[in-house]
Amino acid sequence: MSPLSIILSLTGAYSLLLGVLVLARDYKKVENIAFFGISLGITGWAVGIAGFIDSRSLDDALVWAKFYYFFPVLLVFSLVTFAQYFLSQAYKTLKKTTSVLLMVLGSILSIALFSSRTFITAGIIEQDYGKRVILDEGSYIVYSAYLIVCFAITLLYCFVNLRDATSPVVKQQARLVFLGVLASTATGLYFNLLLPAAGNYRLIYLGPLFVTVFLTAVAYAIVKHKMFDVRWFVVRSVAYVISVLILSVVYIAPLLYMIGTLILDYPFRTGPFVFGVAVASLAALFYERVRLWFNSLTAKIFFREAYNPEQFIAELNSAIVTNLDLEDMLTKASEVIARNINAEYCLFGLKETDRMPQRVVGLAARRFSDEDVQSVRQMTPRLNAKVVLTDFLPPEQDKLKHILQMNDVAVLARLVSDANIKHEGLGYIVLGPKKGGDLYNTRDVRTLETIINGLIIAIQNALRFEEIQNFNATLQQRVEDATKRLRLTNAKLKTLDEAKDDFISMASHQLRTPLTSVKGYLSMVLEGDAGALTPYQRKLLEEAYTSSQRMVYLISDFLNVSRLKTGKFVLELNRANLANIVEEEVRKLELTAASRQLKINYQKPANLPPQYCDANKLRQVVMNLLDNAIFYSRPGGAIDVELTHNGRNLTLKVKDSGIGVPAAERHHLFGKFFRASNAKKARPDGTGIGLFMAKKVILAHGGSVIAETTEHKGSTFGFVLPLEPIAATQKQALPTPAAAKSK
């Protein structure tokens, strides 16, 4: 193989390696596939010319010529596709039909090239400088026109993108690719189209060599501007290859020596053998150090801003975990992030809360317009991404991309958890472009996604701490203001309460007198003072008498409530028989119960001892218990009244099969004006003071109330009274038994 062929083969290998690296980065992207097609075209072109130069027969030379005329077709079509999808996404003026037409024409040219011996390559002749292809003029013109059109379209795309690119990084990429394509096009057309058309085949090998200008431009874009984001893979590969080469040399040297001594019968010497073993041992011992040293060296050359993610995260955690001051914590965090990622600036933008305004904290004093901030806040939740790279936003997000570029924002990291990715979150981490013009890569994105969750927790804790601090600062004033308002309100309530009590007392007294008169006249009529009554008249009058009696009891309850408030509630104690009181109240309410299809069952106990009590108030209690049982029982049921004693206490129980009281409301029983929800529906005209006054009266007698109820199954209400005199504090107000007898 001639030196010229070796150079061409190395050029092809270099091209193929670069294409494989780009394709391995993301083999699904059209632009990556197109770049691989470019690399493959250059490789085939270079290797084909090398084979043509070194071929030993004219027939072999013709085969190689076919190949090196085929691969430029693949090369230029891949260039057009690459320019269309990678460089000019916003200017896809090349319609699908045109792209398909270029592919069809390229396929026709390729098929004709290999199916016809004379298509383009009419023959091969020997010249003094080597072999030369006799070109078929017509087909060669068509072939040349195809290549020139494809080159022209590619350059047009490169120029348009270079002219209109807004991102500095994208503009720099477009500039490098444009210059590389321009140089390669000019030299390739001159040395491999024009000169051969004039019959000069002396310099055809220069075309592939000059195309390395394009490859070098792309390689520089990879290293400098992360054009395909494969730099990390390339650099690590270089580090490992060099490490392995050095260690292989160190191992192979003593190994070859031992093989020569033991197998090939070279004379054995102890010194060299010990030296070989020592070198091998040292190589094994220092392998990891050598590898790390080359990693560090390549990082300095290619990755000036390279960082260790674990160290970065640890440094950030130490800055935020022990700090609860929000401003200070975010300032330190932005400093750590900007220094490690090598960003021009780093800011935290936190959205407003119920108690805190919107704020921007960080290293740089930058301001964003309210309109831009609102637009970004509305658009970013729809992206379904935690980290947004401005330069890689899709075309449908051009508005967001324009806003970010105008504000010199390269990265927008959303402070939101994975579960709430469709919501706005706490705010944003805003990063400027990298120093030196480098692009943010997937490694940066993964690192930012990792630190977001920790930052969310730290910011939430700091916000709570800040809220507590602000609350403590204003707590005293709030308490004083609230106390002042409460005192004013309480004074107003007391005034209203007194007015209400006065009204109830006055109204009760005013109503009691006419009701007493009505009740008296009804009693006289029922007793026959106004003449004989028919059964129907008697029934109506008895109903009126019972209702007036209930109204008297109700007014008495209101008066007692008023007396409780004013401290004038006293018991008028006399000897009375509770069995007779219960019997009288049962008799009075039997007609009312019968009208509701209810029956009251009461067996008057014999030999029930009398006791000192306020008979009128106990009568009201018994009436209230019976009245509730009647009105809250279902028609067709029965009400059981049981009065017993055990020598020490009297016990009255009124049991019904009514609606009962809901479990959630039982603790309100005996409260003033309380009525259960189901009771309000069954009896809308109730007042809610019957049980309240019953409990007050019973407790005043030294007794206790009974309340057993189950919703939908009925209730048992009653009381227990001691047979002995009530509390010692009340004995002074009670007449003694002797005094009572004397009366």
618 φ, ψ to 5°?
-65, -35
Model confidence pLDDT, tens digit, residues 180-233: 778 877 888 888 888 888 888 778 878 887 777 676 666 666 555 455 544 544
Nearest partner of 296 among 243, 356, 225, judged by Cα: 243
The number of beta carbons lying within 10 Å of the beta carbon of residue 280 is 17
> What integer is the mean pLDDT of 383-404?
85
For residues 712 and 92, the model is more confident at 712
| CA pair distance 146, 140, nearest whole angstrom | 10
228-243: average pLDDT:
50
The answer to whether the CB of 672 falls within 8 A of the CB of 697 is no
439: which DSSP letter? P
Residue-wise pLDDT for 468-490, tens only, equals 777 776 777 888 888 888 989 98
Listed residue (695, 688, 689) closest to 720, CA to CA = 695
Q: Which residues of 520-559 are buried (b: 16+ CB within 10 A; e: fewer)?
A: eebeebbeeeeeebeeeeeeebbeebbebbbebbbbbbbb
Q: Distance (Å, rounded) from C-alpha 159 to C-alpha 182?
A: 10
Is 70 exceeded by the pLDDT of residue 669?
Answer: yes
Tell me: the pLDDT tens digits for 64-84?
888 888 888 888 888 888 877
Residue type, 275: F
Give the percent of the chain with pLDDT over 90.
7
Is the pLDDT confidence value at 317 over 90?
A: no
% residues pLDDT > 70 (the chain): 77
CA distance 534 to 521: 17
**What would the pLDDT profile of 537-550 be if each residue is shown by its tens digit?**
888 887 787 777 77
Across all residues in the chain, what is the average pLDDT? 77
CA-CA distance, 244 to 241, in Å (whole number)? 5
pLDDT in tens, 409-464: 889 998 888 888 888 888 899 998 887 667 788 888 888 988 888 888 888 888 88
Mean pLDDT of 357-372: 79
**pLDDT top residue among 646 and 97:** 646
Mean pLDDT in residue range 402-410: 85
- Beta 599-602 vs 121-127: how paired, if at all? unpaired
> Measured at the alpha carbon of residue 531, what is the angle toward residues 526 and 534, in degrees to the nearest 5?
65
Contact present, 20 and 36 (Cβ < 8 Å): yes
Neighbours of 201 (CB within 10 A): 22
**Tokens 């008249």 sit at which residue?**
537
Task: Please give the Cα distance from 82 to 19 (Å, whole number).
Answer: 12
Alpha helices by DSSP H, listed for 168-302, are: 168-189, 195-197, 206-225, 231-262, 270-285, 287-302
pLDDT of residue 156: 82
In this prediction, residue 733 carries a pLDDT of: 39
42 touches 215 (CB < 8 A): yes
Long-range (24+ apart) CB contacts under 8 A made by 273-278 are none
Whole-number pLDDT of residue 91: 44
What CA–CA distance (Å, rounded) separates 61 from 56? 8
Would you state the pLDDT for residue 474? 73
Question: How far, in Å, CA of 519 to CA of 588, rounded?
Answer: 13
Phi then psi for residue 134, to 5 deg, are -85, 115
Give the per-residue pLDDT at 654: 95
108 has a pLDDT exceeding 80: yes
User: Structure pTM?
Assistant: 0.41
Sign of CA dihedral 673, 676, 678, 679: negative
Question: Mean of the pLDDT values across residues 495-516?
Answer: 69
Inter-residue contact 77 to 94 (CB < 8 Å): no
In Å, how far are 88, 143, 161, 171 from 158, measured between CA atoms? 7, 23, 5, 10
Dig out the tokens for 154 from the structure.
Answer: 């590619």
530: Cβ contacts below 8 Å, ≥ 6 apart = 524
Of 693, 716, 690, 720, nearest to 705 by C-alpha is 720
Give me the pLDDT at residue 737, please: 36
Give the separation between CA 42 and CA 76, rounded to whole angstroms: 10
Residue, of 723 and 296, whose pLDDT is higher: 723
Distances (CA, A) of 202 to 49, 205, 393, 475: 12, 8, 49, 93
Give the residue with greater pLDDT, 473 vs 242.
Answer: 473
Reading phi first (left if > 0) and then psi (alpha if -120 to 50, else beta), residue 705 is in: beta
Taking CA atoms, 676 is separated from 596, 635, 663, 682, in Å, by: 21, 20, 10, 10
| Burial class of residue 57, CB neighbours in 10 A (0-12, 13-18, 19+) | exposed
**What is the arithmetic mean of pLDDT over 91-101?**
62
How far apart are alpha carbons 25 and 418 in whole angstroms?
Answer: 26
Per-position DSSP letters for 567-592, written without gaps between them: T------EEE-HHHHHHHHHHHHHHH
pLDDT number for residue 505: 63
Q: pLDDT-based confidence at 642, cuts 50/70/90?
A: very high
Residues, the chain: 743
pLDDT of residue 743: 36
Q: Are 615 and 721 in contact (CB under 8 A)?
A: no
pLDDT of residue 1: 67
